[in-house]
Amino acid sequence: MKKKIMTITDWVHSVLASSIEEGDFCIDATAGKGKDTLFLAEKAGESGQVLAFDIQEEAIFQAEQLINDHGYREQVRFVLDGHEHMERYADKDSAAVILFNLGYLPGGDHTLATKESTTLEAAKKGLSILKKQGVMCICIYSGGDSGFSEKEAVLSWVQSLPAKEYDVISCSFINKPNHPPLPVFIRKR
């Protein structure tokens, strides 16, 4: 049997898997087509909860279909709102994992992409929502028609986080051309 090639999303999921236990609360800050939402729901299990944000109705529709098809509808709440408003929907110190996949909806309108200002606002608010030992992952996509200023702003911000409060790890491809994705992990101490 041929082994499946691991994508960056698969790899990020494998890193985050150890940070999620049955019954945990997690946030998908950029629901997109629902792959991250599904991963979080599977890991949090039947007693867990996932909050999934997107600003596009089409993204929420596609993600809901995927979640329904896999039987996790009761565990997932979809929010048609910007992730920069996540504090309206989640309590302080409550989330085991918060996951961002920046950029645009795959196959969607490239002009509707995450933006530096709202991403930074969401990530900052997300830090207060993370529980101790919780992990935020920001997978940064840049290149082509979007993301360069967002990438630089996110990297500048994470570098400024106090080391006594957060561990920050950036994982970069060193042999891939054309601005490959850049996952950044932040663990709250």
Per-residue pLDDT at 175: 82
Tell if the pTM clears 0.85, that is, is over it. yes
Main-chain dihedrals φ then ψ at residue 128, nearest 5 degrees: -75, -25
Name the one residue in this structure whose structure tokens are 């995927």.
66
- How far CA 68 is from CA of 41, 55, 76, 93, 160, in Å, comes to 11, 20, 10, 28, 40
> pLDDT digits over 121-145, tens only?
999 999 999 999 999 999 998 766 5
A 10 A CB-CB count for 154 gives: 24
Q: What CA–CA distance (Å, rounded) separates 103 from 105?
A: 7
CB 136 within 8 A of CB 186: yes
| Dist. CA 184–CA 140, nearest whole Å | 8
> Alpha helix (H) ranges present in the chain?
8-16, 35-44, 57-69, 116-129, 148-159
Residue 3: pLDDT band (50, 70, 90) is: confident
**pLDDT for residue 103:** 78
